[in-house]
Amino acid sequence: MADLPGFQRYQLAFTARLRDPQNQPPLAGVPDERMAVYEEIVFNNLFESVSACFPVARKVIGKRKWLKLNQAFMRDYSASSPLFRKIPEQFLEFLHTAEPELQQQLPPYFTSLCHYEWIELFVASAETSNIKELQPAGDLGNGRPVFVPAMQLLDYEYAVHKISPRHKPRQQENTQLLVFRNADDHVKFIELNAVTYRLISLMQNNPVSGKQALTLLAKELQHPLPESIIGFGLSILEDLRSQGVIIGTHD
């Protein structure tokens, strides 16, 4: 720091104070009242961006803890994205990399809950390109089902979608969800059972027809009557099409 030009040494003392007004010294020759303007606007900006994305997480841990957590985010995290939209994602990254001491003060489901709240924003603004040669009414059994491009398949250790200040999970509960942006640009969540979750991930990872995916699934389940799985599975796929998760097929 000593070899930096004077104006940069000043800038770093200035931002150090903004990051941690409680512990960093005030700047010599700068009136407190004026510095306070920056301390407030910089923190409030960040705090509002983060708070807007995590309304449930914020309420679940309470005002005081939420404030402290955001102060730690301001103090300890070096944001790398110039896009305001990415502030919540960087907050998640901060939670993942936070000191164990801080992690221990948070409920065990907290990071999952934050991820669940953030994913809505992520899917809402995910970049997608048009899919070519799509057959919207194609046969889901013989064709390859095509999923809506802005979609995430999620697997949590807690029932994150049921959490509220009045309903804080006491134990783990494996939860599979699908979140997607439909044709009207609305973000929708669907709770999946384990079998449907597996079926969708099989089709996402392999270029297979609906029937091939269901045959693979029946094998995995060691089901005595694969035909019944296929019949049942095709109705699941049709249901996903009616909800806009599957948007058609490819040959």
Partner 1 sequence: MAIISQIQGTGLGLKRELIPQIQSLHGQEQLANINFVEIAPENWISAGSKAARQLDWFVERYPVVCHGLCLSLGGPSPLNVGFLQQVKTFLHQYQIPVYTEHLSYCTDGFKGEQGYLYDLLPIPFTEEAVHYVAQRIRQTQDILGQRIGVENASFYVAAPISEMSEIDFINAVISEADCLLHLDINNIYVNSVNFGFDPHAFLRRIPGERIIYSHMAGHYRQTPNLLVDTHGENVIDPVWDLLEDAYRLFGAFPTLLERDNNIPPLETLMHEINKIADYQSKAGHRFTAFEHVPEQMAG
**Nearest distance, CB of residue 116 and partner 1, angstroms:** 19
Bridge partners, residue 153, by sequence? 178
131-134 long-range CB contacts below 8 Å, 24 or more apart? 131/247, 131/248, 133/250, 133/251, 134/247, 134/248, 134/249, 134/250
The bridge status of strand 144-147 relative to strand 246-250 is antiparallel
C-alpha distances out from residue 150 to 119, 173, 185, 207, 245, Å: 11, 26, 10, 18, 9
> What DSSP assignment string belongs to 229-245?
HHHHHHHHHHHHHHTTS
Span interacting with partner 1, options 41-49, 158-166, 201-209, 219-227, rule CB under 8 A: 41-49
**Contact between 130 and 68 (Cβ < 8 Å):** no
Using the rule CB under 8 A, give the single segment among 54-62, 79-87, 165-173, 189-197 that binds partner 1.
79-87
State the nearest-atom distance from the C-beta of 246 to partner 1, in Å.
19
Segment interacting with partner 1, rule: CB under 8 A, options 73-81, 108-116, 163-171, 224-232: 73-81
The length of the chain in residues reads 251
Binders of partner 1 among 127-156, rule CB under 8 A?
127-128, 150
Binding to partner 1 by residue 25, rule CB under 8 A? Answer: no
Instruction: Determine if 80 is a binding residue for partner 1 (CB under 8 A).
Output: yes
Cα separations in angstroms, 11 against 4, 16, 27, 210 = 11, 8, 10, 60
What is the closest distance, in whole angstroms, from the C-beta atom of residue 28 to partner 1 in the complex?
7
Nearer to partner 1, 78 or 171 (CB): 78
Indicate whether 84 belongs to the interface with partner 1 (CB under 8 A).
Answer: yes
Binding mask 175-194 for partner 1 (x = CB under 8 A): ----------x---------
Instruction: From residue 53, give the alpha-carbon distance in Å to each of 58, 90, 92, 165.
Output: 9, 12, 11, 16
Q: What is the DSSP letter of 164?
A: B
Assess 12 for contact with partner 1 (CB under 8 A): yes
Whether 145 contacts 91, CB under 8 Å: no
Q: Which is nearer to partner 1, 39 or 117 (CB)?
A: 39
Q: Which stretch binds partner 1 (CB under 8 A): 59-67, 81-89, 140-148, 217-225?
A: 81-89
Per rule CB under 8 A, count of chain residues that contact partner 1 = 44
Q: Which of 24, 47, 49, 152 binds partner 1 (CB under 8 A)?
A: 49
- Residue 14 as a binder of partner 1 (CB under 8 A): the answer is yes
Residues that bind partner 1 (CB under 8 A): 4-8, 10-12, 14-16, 18-19, 27-31, 33-35, 37-38, 41-42, 45-46, 49, 78-85, 87, 124-128, 150, 185
